[in-house]
Amino acid sequence: MRYQYQHLRLDALRGRWRDAERCGFDVLWNCDTAVEPDRPRRKMFDGPATLAMMAASAKASGVDWPAGERVARFGEFVELADLLWRQEVTTFHGQFYRCEEAEMVPLPVQQPRPRVTIATHGPRTLRIAAEHGHRWSS
C-alpha cells in the first residue's frame, strides 16, 4: 500500500492531484505522519501540509456559501469541537453538523480539553471566539 505518494516532489504531487480530478475523483486522502509506514526511513510530507497544498492547487470544491452561512457554520463547528473534546460520547443536531453518539476515546490528556487558538476575521467571527473564549482558554 502506498500513502498518497506524499514523498514525491511538490510538482509531482500537484500533477497527481490534477490527474485524479481529470479522472473524475472528487476526494483525495492523505496520511497524517512524517515517515512512510511501509518503507523504513523514508520521509514524506506531513498530513496538514499536504492538505494545504491540495487545497491551494486543486479545483474549488464548488461550495459557494454566502458570508452569513460561513460564519454560522464556523460558530456551530466551534461549539461541536468543544463538545467533542470534553465528552466521551456526543450527540449533536445542529443546523449544519450532526453526530450520533460520536466517541472520543480516549479524551485529550489536557482537561477539560486542549487549549485552542481561534483565528477570526471580522466582528461576527471575533464575537464567536470571544463567546467561546472562556471555555477555549480554560
Q: Which pLDDT band, with edges at 50, 70 and 90, does 129 fall under?
A: confident
Minimal CA–CA distance to 103: which of 90, 94, 93, 116? 90
Record the pTM. Answer: 0.58
CA dihedral sign of residues 57, 58, 63, 64? positive
Phi, psi of 33 (to 5 degrees): -155, 165
DSSP state of 108: P
Does residue 119 register a pLDDT over 90? no
DSSP state of 122: S
User: pLDDT tens, 22-63?
Assistant: 898 877 777 766 666 677 777 777 777 777 777 776 755 666
| DSSP 3-state of 120 | coil
Report the pLDDT value the prediction gives residue 41, as an integer from 0 to 100. 74
Does residue 84 register a pLDDT over 80? yes
**What is the C-alpha to C-alpha distance for residues 58 and 50, in angstroms, rounded to an integer?**
12
| DSSP per position, 29-70 | -----SB-TTSTT-B---HHHHHHHHHHHSPP-S----HHHH
